[in-house]
Amino acid sequence: MESPRARPAMTRLRNLTLHRQKEQEIRIAREAGFDLVAEPAGVGVGPGERGLEDAAARLEALLRECGARGECVLLGGHTGVWVAAVMRLLAAGTAPPPLYCFDTRRVHDQNGRFIFVPEGLVRVC
């Protein structure tokens, strides 16, 4: 009788967005080999230039932590904070951990608003 194969450990996909991930996103991530953390751990931005700088420093620290743990990151939120945080890492000679976002189809609801339907994960860098 053949011995059962152990399933390979799934890579943690840390949710550094600003919203909780739904079951559909968790399923898509699982199918791609990731253990997606549903709860958000993203960084909000305070007002003004100082708010952006403080948020970028906090996000940079989170990205360093994820990299040290071997985690991948689901990105989302304030684009400027992500650009600033990644630029800070690169300026320090540190590559960011693998960054992912959901590939989403955009459809209109009955009121003409966009609804984003996740269809897969895309590696950004």
Is the pLDDT reported for residue 69 higher than 80? yes
Structure confidence at residue 12 (pLDDT) = 98
Look at residue 84 and give its three-state secondary structure.
helix
Mean pLDDT across the stretch 11-28? 97
Is residue 88 over pLDDT 70?
A: yes
Band (6; pLDDT cuts 50, 70, 90): low
Q: Which pLDDT score, from 0 to 100, does residue 9 have?
A: 84
Q: Provide the strand spans (E) within the chain.
A: 11-16, 34-36, 72-75, 99-108, 114-123
- What would the mean pLDDT of 85-105 be, rounded to a whole number? 97
Give the per-residue pLDDT at 27: 98
**87 C-beta neighbours (distance < 10 Å), count:** 12
What average pLDDT does the segment 12-34 reach? Answer: 97
Dihedral class, residue 48 (left if φ above 0, else alpha if ψ from -120 to 50, else beta): left
Q: What percent of the chain has pLDDT over 70?
A: 94
Place of tokens 């360093």: 64
**pLDDT reading at 78 higher than 70:** yes
